[in-house]
Amino acid sequence: AFRSGRDFSAWVGLVPKQNSSGGKDKLGSISKQGDRYLRSLFTAGALAVIRYAKIHGTRHRPWLTALLARRPTKVAAIALANKLARMAWAMMARNERYKEPAALMA
C-alpha cells in the first residue's frame, strides 16, 4: 500500500511528512498520525538494540556507533526505529526473509 519505505515510516510517525515537488524539499513535522502501537514497538525494539549494544559493545554496528557518538540515546533510537521500519517495509514489499548483513555475521 506504500510506494516506498519512507512513505511507510511517515505513516507510522517516525519521520517528518514530506510534501516536495520540483526539487524543492518541504518537510513537515513528525505527525504521529500512524499506528501508535506499531510506532511504540519499533521504538521499544530500537531502544533494546541500543541497550544491548551499550552492554556488549557496538563493534559490529558501525552505523549505530557513529550515531550514538553524535546524538542522544533517544534520538538515536528513533533513527534506528526508522531504519527498522524501512527494512520491514522492504521485506514485505519484496516478499523475502531477513538476510543478516555480512558485517554482522563475522
Query: What tens digit of pLDDT does each residue of 60-76 get?
Result: 788 888 999 999 999 99
Looking at the structure of the chain, the number of domains it has is: 1
- Report how far residue 24's alpha carbon sits from residue 22's, in angstroms, rounded to the nearest whole number: 5
Question: For residue 44, is it within any domain?
Answer: yes
**pLDDT for residue 77 is more than 80:** yes
Domain holding 64, by residue range, is: 5-15+36-98
CA atoms of 20 and 22, how far apart (whole Å): 7
Name residue 24's beta-bridge partners. Answer: 21
Q: Is residue 20 situated within a structural domain?
A: no
At residue 102, the pLDDT reads 66
Three-state SS sequence of 46-98: HHHHHHHHHHHCCCCCHHHHHHHHHCCHHHHHHHHHHHHHHHHHHHHHHCCCC
Evaluate whether residue 85 is within a structural domain: yes
Average pLDDT over residues 47-70: 87
Residue 29 lies in a domain: no
Do the domain assignments include residue 78? Answer: yes
Please indicate whether residue 102 or residue 54 has the higher confidence score (pLDDT): 54
